[in-house]
Structure 1
Amino acid sequence: MSLLPAELPASPPAWDTLVVEPSQVVAPGPVPVSIYADEVWSLAPLVANPSAYRPSLNWARFPDTVRPQMQMAAWTMINNPLPASVLVGHPAWHSRLGPHGIHDTVLRWQGFTTWLHQQELHGLHEVTEDALGAYAGHLARRPGAGRSAVTKDLVALTRLWAFDTAGVAPSGMPMPPWHRQGVDDYLPAAPAAGRGENTTEPISAATMGPLLIWALRMVDDFADDIFAARVESRRLAEAVAGTRGTPDTKARLKLYLRDLIDHGLPVPSRRNAGHRHALANVYIAAQAGCPASQVNALLGTAPWRHLLPYVRDNPGTCPLAVPVTGRLDGKPWTQSIDFTETRQLMRHLGTACFIVLAYLTGMCPAEVLGLETGCCPEPDSGRHLIYGRVFKNASDEDGNHRSAGQPREVPWVAIPPVVRAIRLLERIAPDGGLLFDAAAHSFHTASTASSVSISNEGMRSRIEGFVAWAGELARKLDREHEIIPHDPHGAIGLARFRRTLAWHIARRPGGLAALAIQYGHLRTAMSGGYAARGRGGIHELLDIETARSTADTLTILHEDLAQGTGVSGPAARRAIHAASHAPIFAGSIRTPRQARDLLGNPALTVHDNPGALLMCVYDRERALCHRMEPVDAPRLDRCQPTCANVARTDHHAELLLQRAHGLEKQAASDGVPGPLADRLARHAGHLRTLAERHAHDRIHTREPTP
């Protein structure tokens, strides 16, 4: 049976045939165009996602004997769908792959051809079904081989067979045996646990806390100063560029420099690539009223060469004449902004906006980087909403990946800091362009929309740069406690922000998430915004983290009860009953369905609230935290001590006494005013009463073990 698509040519493509036919081009704007004879084929014409990598195929990495066959199969795959007969029995397969899928597939072909060369097989025409089986075994035996990776390798070879067979010069490569029999028999043993976003480690609270604080400071407090400095620095640069050199401008320059030297004053300088100080030519030219070229020319003359050692010994700053209005604890965050720092500060401001958007919305990185100006219009009433595109799992009517993404069915909810960040980005981005337009965020010159955003790798680098800059500023301002520490799980990256948000909302109701909650009750905003369960929302991560937190709480309570720990409060018996189910769920929450199974069981919804020193054994009908709100989850930031859902363990009672002791010490201090001391003492007494009530009312399931 022939698999030849009707639109394929009758002969192999000519040397000048376009690698990507015009009908397949989706990339906006100019892109590299490759022809069949090129050694490297660019797949950029197939990429419409502004933040996505533009892959290419390098044929120099393939053995010479098999390269023509692979090129023909790849060209067919790029420009034609997989024959319908191959899709039978594989409903999850796509007839067309996106550019990154094509790139990944060809890389897997490369590994196969390297193995063929090692087996002294010199082309697809020498491949047999036994050889394919042997290669599958080779893949499964590799150290660290995973089922997912091996499956992708085997599917890639199925596509190679299909497109080779469909080509104008088929090699006779046989159908892979796993295409008929299924891949299970050719895969390594299944691992105990999966991977993916749901197993990504959240950013530690010690790192995320100061990172978010500095990002919010940039957006809320420092941004206006940075924009003003950017305007002034560009004004100076444009003035210098428009100044013609004359004897008078040269005389002014000499007078300016001579005055600095005669008075032993530092000379405006900048750090060059070698971290040495060099003259800040443009700034000096702006101060002297001359072109920058005259500064360079003057230093080349013998009488002025001695200035270079003087600069190294007396480097000066380049302060801009703009007032600093941003305050940190009532004081200016910097005495002045330097002319040489404005471009870097603008980069840090753009990075801070990304951090705020990524953390306080829960968007995927590609969605943040794909946002455009006007994405968050001013509402007639109610909350701000963000309208963007979803790229993950975006597909056309045939189920094939849509590189340009598709409009999100349910918009994101934007709390005030997010709206502020978007408004700042709209001042940077070109009208109608991307908020993170790569050309605009280079801050070299004004630019038009480029249709390409900052890449993932570029933004990762900027985040690391922002962390370093914030650390330097913290030291300069004697705020060492706000230095952003290294995260124990590695680089901050981009994909960890939404997992971190879900983790903190689910597990730290009175801690780090309060930074967001105080701006508009973020969890409520998200829950309301995702009532329709829009595709790819953060609600699944929230459910998983909440379920994991609940499972952890049940497990700890189960173990404590086995050791004789007591429980008190109106919900004590319900807590004990729920803890008996802990072994069923311990360590098992990995998917949204498992999370829903746990959260959907009203007898198991136990939430620890260390900030309130209690547990919430949640029952909607008895809850006091949201009587008038249409939600079905506890508001742990609003726990009421008289609620019928409250339970406490011996550990909570110990913490009550510890906190009471700390308040009593404060009340006894000579520096505390009398009225405040009275309030502290009363609060400490209330905490001790709660601890005593626990000791009187506590119940337990067994006597403590020695």
Structure 2
Amino acid sequence: MGLTQRALPDTPVGPDAFVLGRRRLRSGFRRSDTSRFCDDVWRLAPVLHQRQQASLILNFPAIPARFRPAVKVLFYALLNNKPPAGERQLGVVTIHGYFQAFKEFLDWLDPQHHDRFSSLTPVDLCQFQKHLLATVSSAKQRANHRRSVRLLWTWREHLADDHIPVDPDRLEDDWNEDNSRARRRENANPRIPEQVISPLVVWSLRFVDDFADDILAAQDEWLALQKKTRRDSHSGHGARRRLAALMRRYQADRRPLPGGTEGQHGINIRHLAREVDCDRQSLMAPASWGLIEQAREDVGVDDSTYLRTEIRGLLDGEPWLKRISYDEDLVVLVRILTAAAYTLIAYLSGMRDSEVKHIRRGCLTTDADRTGKITRRKIISMAFKGEGTPLGVEATWVVGRPVARAVEVLDRLQPKRQRWLFAVPPSSHSHKAPRTTEAKTTKATNNDLNLMVTWINDYCRQHGRTDHIPDVSRRPWRLSTAQFRRTLAWFIGRRPGGSIAGAIQYRHLSIQMFEGYAGTSKSGFRAEAQQEALLARGEGLSLMVDRHEHERLRGPSADEARVRLDKFGDRVRFLGKTPDDNQMKKLMERNDPRIYPGRFVTCTDNPNRRLCRLPGEKDMNPDPGQCKPLTCRNVALTDSNAQAWLQRLAELDARLQASDALAPRVRVRLEEDRAEIQAFLTRAGVLEPADAST
């Protein structure tokens, strides 16, 4: 055996050992057909259980020959052995990522004439870190490279005496970057900017609600044409008769013949043959060609080949397209429709990409009340992260109407025999190509999302529209599947003002989604949204102190709120700069002033004085939905709170002016409400007693 086909001395790994021996296989694979230790290429597809995951390999010929035996033993251990103390069991995709990063480390190391990993010194490792700083712009990627190299230390018991002699993490600043460990635990996916996500969701709703029927009808027509035989067993007279009927139809509809590069006079003969259901040569016979030529002289030839599907969808009262071409438009529009459905599902449910890709036919269920009104819409899929099994577990998400509509569109887009709603659609050029995945890969979906942005902007430019998707820092925003969950958590946590993506109510959706996640899934989305809310509250309180707004607080707890906010402001100023998300998170976790700004009141939470919670719930946050602002002693008022109450008084006055039209009981209740609010504002110093009496 050559160097690549034998195990290291003193290791228990034999050449015929199955490298996936302790991993659970996907259905359809046999252990005897999987890769062995002596193979140059280890195929990981048999243990990739998620439907959207592309086939992966560990390609050892790409590793410098002198390091290959040790690298094989290392990655065999990663795939099969229990992790060392303090380390976690790695997934197959993570191992593949480490292999790619490790290969780059070895490419850097190869020219330096090291024969063994044990000969590396701390200086060598620090030089590699300098190489990373010079060549890799992403701190996250640099950290991944360093973690792959550290495997030579953490898994040293499996490498005999050929491992690095020192733990790289002990090199401190020469190896690690500032805050790299803290950042590793944070959600590093960028948030989609508001100016991008808003028009993106609006256009996604248009595709799913307004344009989908046209695209689906066009795909049905396209598929029906694809099923036509290329040769007609009884072409001859039968084909001429069908051709004559087709030409009469073109002339009756005043429809130009399909254009193309084949045949004569720019006519798409292939398409005509498909419509007639015969071979092209039959149409070139003199008698048949005479029928085509006669029609051409009457109606002419189009600039391309268009489907007959009538465009019914409207945009601002006009058809959104004139027609859909057979060869170009349909494939692109189906991809965009799929991307639009993905956007609504991922963004308005909080599902991860792997969870979205496991949506199956029949996954959508509804609950209704006695009158038949739908009260809940639920999606059943598979959750993987944090579930303790690569097979995933069934989970339920409570969703809104836009998500349900997107699922219904995908159900119609896929043929009945297809279980997976994010499979490659039947109109795709690669639909019949051999595939290792049953759902679109993450990369393919990313490409579809960015194709949608390009199409939208081209469409807006051609039609003089202003609702395009703008650039960010003078460049198109590059969408990826991982960004939607982070963005939704941000919006739910902060709920910025204005109309975001039409009439979608983030607060309502957040309550529904929290219910679904809390019930059946460990996805952690609720924690992410609550984390964003914590950061938003900290930033808001810091800004309140910076503007000295807390000094003008009024109400029962105003003095206590000022003391808490002064201390909080001192801690913010101690940092010497505007805190980033990580610093603000730590600050709020350790020194949360427990002040909760709202529209009508600013709650200075004291569990002993709460009226919104039962006495036994002291460790919980205050419940805004049960707030009793007119009687609770935890209430403080900012200037904006006071203005909201004054506006409420004005609304009551306006209703009471129409008291003749009110029922006596309603009028009395409004007068009581007005009196209670006036008394409250007078006690808080917002109104003078004279104002209250009037």
TM-score of the superposition, structure 2-length normalised?
A: 0.70
Query: 376-385 or 223-232, which moves further after superposition?
Result: 376-385
Q: Is the 8 A contact 2:54 2:436 kept in 1?
A: no
| Alignment partner, residue 361 of structure 1 | 349
CA–CA separation in structure 1 for the residues paired with 2:551 and 2:583: 32
CA–CA separation in structure 1 for the residues paired with 2:450 and 2:501: 25
Where does 1:199-598 land on structure 2 (aligned, <5 Å)?
199-239=188-228, 241=230, 243-244=232-233, 245-246=235-236, 249=239, 266-269=256-259, 280-281=268-269, 283-286=271-274, 289-291=276-278, 293-294=280-281, 315-316=303-304, 318-322=306-310, 324=312, 326-340=313-327, 341-379=329-367, 382-396=375-389, 402=390, 404-408=391-395, 411-427=396-412, 428=414, 433-438=419-424, 442=428, 451-475=437-461, 480-488=465-473, 490-513=477-500, 515=502, 517-518=504-505, 521-531=508-518, 534-561=521-548, 576-577=562-563, 579-583=565-569, 584=571, 587=579, 589-590=581-582, 594=586, 597=589
**Residues 450, 115 of structure 1: CA spacing in aligned structure 2 closer, same or farther, 3 A cutoff?**
closer
| Alignment partner, residue 679 of structure 1 | none
CA–CA separation in structure 2 for the residues paired with 1:639 and 1:343: 54
Query: 342-351 or 205-214, which moves further after superposition?
Result: 342-351
**Residues 539, 442 of structure 1: CA spacing in aligned structure 2 closer, same or farther, 3 A cutoff?**
same
- Unaligned stretches of 5+ in structure 1? 166-171, 397-401, 625-630, 661-689, 700-706
Tell me how far 1:548 sits from its aligned partner: 1.7
**Residues 462, 617 of structure 1: CA spacing in aligned structure 2 closer, same or farther, 3 A cutoff?**
same
Q: Is the 8 A contact 1:547 1:589 kept in 2?
A: no
| Alignment partner, residue 57 of structure 2 | 56
Query: 441-450 or 71-80, which moves further after superposition?
Result: 441-450
SS in 1 for 2:378: strand
**What letter matches 1:269 in structure 2?**
G
**What letter matches 2:239 in structure 1?**
T
SS in 1 for 2:66: coil
User: CA offsets per residue over residues 15-59 of structure 1, 9 Å max, x none?
Assistant: xx5864566462345799656666543322232222234332233
User: CA offsets per residue over residues 657-694 of structure 1, 9 Å max, x none?
Assistant: 9xx9xxxxxxxxxxxxxxxxxxxxxxxxxxxxx9xx99
Where does 1:571-650 land on structure 2 (aligned, <5 Å)?
576-577=562-563, 579-583=565-569, 584=571, 587=579, 589-590=581-582, 594=586, 597=589, 603-607=594-598, 616-617=602-603, 647-649=637-639
Count of aligned residue pairs for this structure pair: 608
Tell me how far 1:458 sits from its aligned partner: 0.6
**Residues 482, 312 of structure 1: CA spacing in aligned structure 2 closer, same or farther, 3 A cutoff?**
farther
**What letter matches 2:363 in structure 1?**
C
SS in 2 for 1:52: coil
CA–CA separation in structure 1 for the residues paired with 2:186 and 2:282: 55
User: CA offsets per residue over residues 135-168 of structure 1, 9 Å max, x none?
Assistant: 3333344453968446513432136643333xxx
CA–CA separation in structure 2 for the residues paired with 1:281 and 1:352: 35
From 154, 173, 195, the equivalent of 2:162 is 173
SS in 2 for 1:213: helix
**What letter matches 1:482 in structure 2?**
D
**What letter matches 2:597 in structure 1?**
V
Q: Is the 8 A contact 2:17 2:37 kept in 1?
A: yes
Tell me how far 1:418 sits from its aligned partner: 1.3
SS in 2 for 1:413: strand
CA–CA separation in structure 2 for the residues paired with 1:651 and 1:623: 19
**What letter matches 1:315 in structure 2?**
D
User: CA offsets per residue over residues 335-366 of structure 1, 9 Å max, x none?
Assistant: 44444433332222211111011100111222
| Alignment partner, residue 684 of structure 1 | none
**What letter matches 1:590 in structure 2?**
N
CA–CA separation in structure 1 for the residues paired with 2:545 and 2:348: 34
User: CA offsets per residue over residues 251-310 of structure 1, 9 Å max, x none?
Assistant: 87599789989x9975423799xxxx97555543355x25363499689x99999x99xx
User: CA offsets per residue over residues 603-662 of structure 1, 9 Å max, x none?
Assistant: 42225x6xxxx77547696789xxxxxx967779x99999986845489979x99xx9xx
TM-score of the superposition, structure 1-length normalised?
A: 0.69
CA–CA separation in structure 2 for the residues paired with 1:260 and 1:432: 35
Q: Is the 8 A contact 2:495 2:506 kept in 1?
A: no
**What letter matches 1:391 in structure 2?**
F
SS in 1 for 2:159: helix
| Alignment partner, residue 86 of structure 2 | 91
CA–CA separation in structure 1 for the residues paired with 2:417 and 2:435: 7
**What letter matches 1:26 in structure 2?**
L
**What letter matches 2:48 in structure 1?**
V
CA–CA separation in structure 1 for the residues paired with 2:212 and 2:248: 37
CA–CA separation in structure 2 for the residues paired with 1:295 and 1:573: 93
| Alignment partner, residue 671 of structure 1 | none
User: Does residue 73 of structure 1 match 2:63?
Assistant: no
Q: CA RMSD in A?
A: 5.2
CA–CA separation in structure 1 for the residues paired with 2:267 and 2:34: 43
Tell me how far 1:568 sits from its aligned partner: 6.7
Q: Is the 8 A contact 2:551 2:562 kept in 1?
A: no
| Alignment partner, residue 27 of structure 1 | 26
**What letter matches 1:214 in structure 2?**
W
User: CA offsets per residue over residues 511-538 of structure 1, 9 Å max, x none?
Assistant: 3457464498112213333446942321
SS in 2 for 1:284: helix
Q: Is the 8 A contact 1:109 1:156 kept in 2?
A: no
| Alignment partner, residue 44 of structure 2 | 43
- Unaligned stretches of 5+ in structure 2? 1-7, 370-374, 573-577, 614-619, 651-677, 688-694
| Alignment partner, residue 672 of structure 1 | none
| Alignment partner, residue 704 of structure 1 | none
User: CA offsets per residue over residues 94-152 of structure 1, 9 Å max, x none?
Assistant: 2xx3323332343454345445533323x33xx546x2434333334445396844651
**Residues 448, 160 of structure 1: CA spacing in aligned structure 2 closer, same or farther, 3 A cutoff?**
closer
SS in 2 for 1:269: coil
Tell me how far 1:4 sits from its aligned partner: 7.0
Identity, in percent, stands at: 23
Tell me how far 1:62 sits from its aligned partner: 2.5
| Alignment partner, residue 703 of structure 1 | none
| Alignment partner, residue 117 of structure 1 | 110
CA–CA separation in structure 1 for the residues paired with 2:203 and 2:407: 17
